[in-house]
Structure formats: C-alpha cells, structure tokens
Chain A
Amino acid sequence: MKNNVIVYSEDIELASELLTPAREIATSTGGKVIMIVIYKVEMNDYTRLVGADVIVSVRLPDELGVPTPEFTSAVVADIFKSRGAGFVLLGSTRDGKELAGRLAVILDASAATDCINIQFKENRALVERLVYGGRVLSSGILEAGPFVIGIKPRSYQAIASGPEPSIEEFSIQSPVLKTRVLRSGEAERGSVDLTKADKIVAVGRGLKKKEDLELIHTLAEALGAAVGCSRPLSSDLGWLPEDAHIGLTGIQVKPKLYLAVGISGQLQHLAGIKDSKVIMAINSDKGAPIFQNCDYGAVGDLYQIVPELTKLIKAKR
C-alpha cells in the first residue's frame, strides 16, 4: 500500500496540528509527510511546519480569490496520485469537510471527519469521534485505504521542534470551476477567538436588555476573560456577533474557566462547553439544567450577583 501521508488545511495553524498524527502514521508506514500549502501571497517562513518532510507549495491562480474545496480537491488529488500517498489528513473545518467528501469519491477512499483521535494499525485506521450532539464518543474502523481523515481542531498539539521540511513548487492549471466565489470577507467577529480563550464569561437569556451587556463586559474585564453567549443572544437577538455563539452549532470551547451567566444550560449549549476545566454558573432558576452540569453554581439574581463578584475580583487586584 502507498505509504505517504498528505496533510492539508486552509488554516495553517490547524495544518501544523495535523502534522503530529501525520508523523505518527508516516513513522509506522515508513512513508513521508507531504504538506500542501496553497497560498495567495508567497509564504516565506515554513519553519513552524515541523513534522513535514516536504512542503508542496501551490500558488493560487490569480482569478481565484480563495482556495475553494472544489479547486483544492483537484490539487490534493493530483499530488496524492503523483506522490504515491495512501492518506490524506485534513483539518475538519467546514471547507475541510466538503473537501473530505469530494476526495472520498475522487480517490475512492474511506473517509471520516471530526476525528479527535486516530490510530493506524494493521492497515486499518481506528478513529474516535463525537456523535449525538457531542454527548457520545464513538469508535470506528476504516477498513481499507486509501484514507481521507478530517481531524477536529485542537485535538492535537503541533510538534514543537524538528528538522525543517524541503520545499517544492507545484503549479496547477486554472481549472474550470463549477462554483464561483463572488466575494469573500470576514464574518462579523468579536475581538477574541473564543476557541483559544483561557477564560470565558458567557451570557444568555437571563439578560433582559442589550444595554445590560455592560455588566457582563465589566466582569469579563476584571477576570481577564473573553465574552461569549448562548444561541439566542447572537442568532435571534443579534446582541453579540455569531462567533460569540457557544454551543453545538456554534463554537466549542475548552477554557480553564467558563462562567455562564443567565444561561439555562440546554443540551445544545452544554455541548459547546463540556471540555471546560471549571464551569461556574449564575442563574435565578434553581431548577436550571446548568446547575447539574457545573462545578460551582450560584442561585440568584444576576443583576445583583455579577456586580458583587466584579467588586470582589477588582478588590483583589
């Protein structure tokens, strides 16, 4: 079987995380780790990409503003076939999942997405992934290669140090694409990436008015925390941007502290916070599900507790 491992994600940080499991697989198959980087503006520094043996550097054709999964699938498939690869590790982002589906057909591969742990043994890939709303850990087997595996962000840590990869240029003809991107811009975003935040204060329907967010921001500042919310506040009310929405269909976070203020704790929200180290909650409803799923909880009026707590934290500093 072909033993080289291809690694790709449009998110370079995520791609460097993928190099860790890629390295493990390559070690057991005796193959090489080939990382594909598609760039619009030339990258000068590949030293961070520790773990790759080869970087195949692909310049995005001028007419394309972004590397769409359709375009990327052609690139990856081409390199896969010409380099004797047997594995493709992708970042399991939305683009990555579309790409995984495409490659599964193009390469006639066994595929799995959102994997949090993979092991390659005896020509089979054992994969673990969360299912049923993130509540259940499933283990499954991809019986035969080639393999296309999407890895969930932050499942692995990038390798700290190692030998530098060699760089190769790869050029591709401008393909005729069926889907055109007319515009690409930043989604409305808050200032902090919650998935990387150490401490998060999140607010939910218990907040009566948009103006009251002031209270929450003050507490967050005192704590040095980022601000997030449950779905109603971003999707329904628009009091906070979409990327502040924490939950099953929003962001999943893994902070040291997650403080839920006025959040009832519906399952969809809990799915986004269950990897938090410490969960703290403030809610006026003693029966709110959040109290079953937190480490520390305070029953009472957030409008009174939050200022008191803020005062105490500020006093210590």
Chain B
Amino acid sequence: MPLDMIVLVKHIYDEDQLKVDQTTGSVSLQGVPGKVSSFDRNALEAALRLRQKLGGTITTLTVGTDEANKSIREALAMGADNAYLIRSNVATGYDARQTVEILIGALSKIPRWDVLICAEGSTDFYTSLLPGMLAERLNLPLLSYMRSLDFDGRSLRGDRSLERKLETVECSLPAIVSVVSEICEPRIPTLLQIMAATKKQISKIDVTELGLQIPPRYKLEGMLVKTVTRKRQIFEGSPSEVALKLYESLSKEGII
C-alpha cells in the first residue's frame, strides 16, 4: 500500500541571526540568512519512515523566493523524491490564508497524492493556521498534532498529542496531517545523499502562473525584541559558600 506524500517545507529567516537595533530593540530581517524551519524536518522524516515501510513517493512543496532552494536541497538530501518551488518575489512572504491559496493552486498541478504532511507550525511566525485552513478548503480530514502515524491500507491512524490528553485518531485517505517534533528525530544525510541532491531538479512554478488574487488579511506592523534584564549575579566558591549566597538571594527576593 504505497503512499504518495506531499511534505510542506518552509524557508525562514534564521531566528538565531536576526538583526536587532541596540537602542530601539526593533528587529530587522534585512540580510538575515535563511534556513529550513526545523519542524519541517521532523515532518519530512515522518514521511520518509512511512515510505520506508510502505513504499511510495515524497514530493516537497515550498512557497518562497529563489533563496528557498537552499532548504529544498536539504529536503532532497534527506531523501525526498521530488521538490517544487512555488516561486515568488515577495521576500517578506505571505500570510497564512494567502499561503494556503497558493499551495492549493500548486497542488492542482501535482498528479496525485494521498497524504499531505506538514509541521504543527513554522518556527518563525508559528501561526499553526495552515493545517485547519487546508482541511476546510480541500474538504479533507485532518489529523493534527500527531506524535505517531501509521497506515494500515485503509485508514491513517496515530496518536494526537494535546496539552493534557493523548487521543488516538484515524481517518481515510486522502488526508492532511500535521506533526509535532516528538514524532521522530530527523536523519542526518550522508555525503552521498548530499551530492545526489545537488544534482536533482527542483521543479518551479511561478506564483503568477496560478493567477490568484488574494489580498493579505494580516499585516505585520513591527517587531521588537523582548528584553528582560537579568541581574546576572554569579557566585563562585566552595559549594557551601555558593549555597549560602543562593539562600540569601532567595531570602532577599522574598521567596522564602
């Protein structure tokens, strides 16, 4: 029972290298290097394990500028069979609803698929809106926040991880699945896989080809780094000396 899978991969600005204005605290994305959204690797790994078990194909979909090719190559190195870049010129990207419409436009150009797997959210803006939106727009079942996933030939099934509950859920194909990072550790590609990936073709669809007119519903106004200045009083010395210092600090802060 092979599965033809789509995996969503997003190329984001690297959260460890954001530019911050020291005086105002305002954050700029200009010239910030990009990387793949970490949880997308978990989603791809989940797909790879299903393919290992059941056979099938994995096609990644990415909406972005040409910069995104870097992340797409990583996905190919991990083992994706095919990759699409839905090319746009908008460096700042699209909001959730726009992204969904673009993805749906692109999906219509992909022959057939059984499951679309994505991360619970992207590590930049983390709206987590995509899975629910896709499910409603495509009128397909959604298994969200999955920490395990399997297919028995008829139903897709697994454990859904909520704050205090664990649900076992199932649905039939085709379906949308969003996964949590606990589902599996992403593999580290070998040199051989990396070299093969640099030779693979990335299929391109230009956003303009999709002929969509979707205005943004959310407009980002500004970003500020949250600053909390910590006292940073560091004590060194013998264990009993530092323990005493910590104890005195607890007292001073009124905690004990």
Partners in one complex: yes
Cβ of A178 under 8 Å from chain B = yes
* B contact patch SS: mixed
Cβ of A106 under 8 Å from chain B = yes
- Contact A291 to B218, CB < 8 A, known contacts A95-B162, A308-B243: no
Cβ of A60 under 8 Å from chain B = no
Q: Which residues of B contact A181 (CB under 8 A)?
A: 167-169
Interface size class of A (residues with CB under 8 A): 35 or more
A207 to chain B, nearest CB (A): 16
User: Which B-chain residue is minimally distant from A199 (CB atoms)?
Assistant: B255
Contact A101 B143 (CB under 8 A): no
Q: Which residues of B contact A182 (CB under 8 A)?
A: 157, 167-170
Contact A130 B144 (CB under 8 A): no
B90 to chain A, nearest CB (A): 16
Complex Cα distance, B231 from A292, in Å, reads: 9
Contact A135 B15 (CB under 8 A): yes
Q: Which residues of A contact B253 (CB under 8 A)?
A: 257, 278, 295
Interface size class of B (residues with CB under 8 A): 35 or more
Q: Which residues of B contact A185 (CB under 8 A)?
A: 165-167
Q: Which residues of A contact B249 (CB under 8 A)?
A: 280, 295-296
User: Which B-chain residue is minimally distant from A125 (CB atoms)?
Assistant: B218
Chain B 198-256 residues near chain A, CB threshold 8 A: 216-226, 228, 230-240, 242-247, 249-250, 253, 255-256
Q: Which residues of A contact B231 (CB under 8 A)?
A: 294-296
Contact B165 A186 (CB under 8 A): yes
Complex Cα distance, B34 from A10, in Å, reads: 37
Cβ of B194 under 8 Å from chain A = no
Cβ of B140 under 8 Å from chain A = yes
Cβ of B59 under 8 Å from chain A = no
Contact A97 B132 (CB under 8 A): yes
Cβ of B54 under 8 Å from chain A = no
Pairs across A and B, CB under 8 Å, 17 listed: A97-B121, A99-B132, A102-B136, A104-B97, A110-B218, A111-B127, A111-B129, A112-B218, A135-B225, A136-B225, A143-B219, A180-B170, A187-B164, A223-B256, A243-B164, A249-B180, A295-B231
Cβ of B196 under 8 Å from chain A = no
Interface-central residue, A139, A143, A179, A291, by most chain B CB under 10 Å: A179
Complex Cα distance, B255 from A296, in Å, reads: 13
Chain A 278-310 residues near chain B, CB threshold 8 A: 278-280, 282, 286, 291-301, 304-305, 308-309
A148 to chain B, nearest CB (A): 9
Measured CB to CB, the residues of A under 8 A from B are 11, 66, 69-70, 73, 93-95, 97-106, 109-114, 130-144, 178-187, 189, 199, 223, 235, 242-243, 249, 256-257, 267, 274, 278-280, 282, 286, 291-301, 304-305, 308-309, 311-313, 316
User: Which B-chain residue is minimally distant from A141 (CB atoms)?
Assistant: B219
Contact A102 B217 (CB under 8 A): no
Q: Which residues of B contact A131 (CB under 8 A)?
A: 124-126, 223
Q: Which residues of A contact B165 (CB under 8 A)?
A: 66, 184-187
Q: Which residues of A contact B216 (CB under 8 A)?
A: 143
Complex Cα distance, B27 from A75, in Å, reads: 40
Complex Cα distance, B240 from A214, in Å, reads: 20
Across the A-B interface, give the 6 residue pairs with the lowest CB-CB distance, nearest first: A101-B132, A308-B243, A178-B141, A304-B239, A105-B136, A110-B217
Cβ of B103 under 8 Å from chain A = no
- Contact A135 to B143, CB < 8 A, known contacts A297-B232, A298-B235: no
Measured CB to CB, the residues of B under 8 A from A are 15-16, 18, 27, 96-97, 100, 120-121, 123-137, 140-145, 157, 161-172, 180-182, 216-226, 228, 230-240, 242-247, 249-250, 253, 255-256
Contact B18 A136 (CB under 8 A): yes
B26 to chain A, nearest CB (A): 10
Q: Which residues of B contact A305 (CB under 8 A)?
A: 239, 242-243, 246
Residue A138 contacts which of B136, B181, B223, B255 (CB distance < 8 angstroms)?
Answer: B223
- Contact A136 to B247, CB < 8 A, known contacts A70-B142, A94-B145: no
Complex Cα distance, B141 from A73, in Å, reads: 13
Contact B226 A137 (CB under 8 A): yes
Contact A179 B170 (CB under 8 A): yes
- Contact A278 to B218, CB < 8 A, known contacts A102-B136, A292-B232, A305-B242: no
Q: Which residues of A contact B128 (CB under 8 A)?
A: 94, 97-98, 101, 113-114
Q: Which residues of A contact B140 (CB under 8 A)?
A: 178
Complex Cα distance, B228 from A299, in Å, reads: 22
User: Which B-chain residue is minimally distant from A177 (CB atoms)?
Assistant: B141
A211 to chain B, nearest CB (A): 20
Q: Which residues of B contact A299 (CB under 8 A)?
A: 234-236, 242
Complex Cα distance, B233 from A187, in Å, reads: 38
Residue B224 contacts which of A137, A279, A313 (CB distance < 8 angstroms)?
Answer: A137
Complex Cα distance, B120 from A312, in Å, reads: 45
Complex Cα distance, B240 from A128, in Å, reads: 45
User: Which B-chain residue is minimally distant from A296 (CB atoms)?
Assistant: B249
User: Which B-chain residue is minimally distant from A69 (CB atoms)?
Assistant: B132
Complex Cα distance, B105 from A23, in Å, reads: 40
